[in-house]
Amino acid sequence: MRIGIYPGSFDPITNGHLDIIERGRKLFDKLYIVLSINPNKKTLFTLDERIALLKEVTKEFDNVDIATTDKLTVDCAKELGASFMLRGLRAVTDFEYELQINLFNKALNNDIETIFIMSANEYNFLSSSSVKEVALFGGDISKFVPKCVETAIHEKINK
């Protein structure tokens, strides 16, 4: 079985992530979206809220599951039986960071291969933080996130 993991914060999931999941899942028999349990990282959405949104937007994808980990990503991959790690690459900005973590992960576990998928043109500029920022200043985010995520962001920031 070809198993992959797609690790990230997903705070919250955007159409950019979703595009990588839709395209990436075709490469694997099973793709786990992996959220790190990191109490030191400040997020807008709690772990449970991020999981609920991920479940909602990936419910049609029969080979996609959600997992969490409090360990190193490569150790989590091993536990899930995954030999591949999926990452999205936007323009040039992600390259240096991704190169660095890829080299690090390789040093930690050389058996896990990272697969990069280039962002679609329309999502090249899109990040969870920019969506949150735009929403905070009252901008329209409907083009950037699924409907349920848009509603959840508005509920959060209007609290």
Task: From 45-53, 59-67, 125-133, 145-153, give the range in contact with ligand ADP by CB under 6 A.
Answer: 125-133
Q: In the complex, what is the shortest distance from the CB of residue 33 to ligand ADP, in angstroms, rounded to a whole number?
A: 9
- Alpha carbon distance 86, 88 (integer Å): 7
The amino acid occupying position 124 is: N
Distance CA 117, CA 87 (A): 6
90 an active-site residue? yes
Identify the active-site residue in 23, 30, 78, 90.
90
Q: Which of 26, 41, 59, 159 is catalytic?
A: 41
Instruction: Provide the minimum distance between the beta carbon of 90 and ligand ADP in the complex, in angstroms, as a whole number.
Output: 5
Q: How far is the CB of 24 from ligand ADP (least distance, A)?
A: 10
Per the annotation, the verdict on 119 as an active-site residue is no
Work out the widest C-alpha separation in the chain, in whole angstroms: 46
Binding to ligand ADP in span 76-95, by CB under 6 A: 87-88, 90, 94
Binding residues vs ligand ADP (CB under 6 A): 8-10, 14, 16-17, 20, 87-88, 90, 94, 119, 123, 126-128
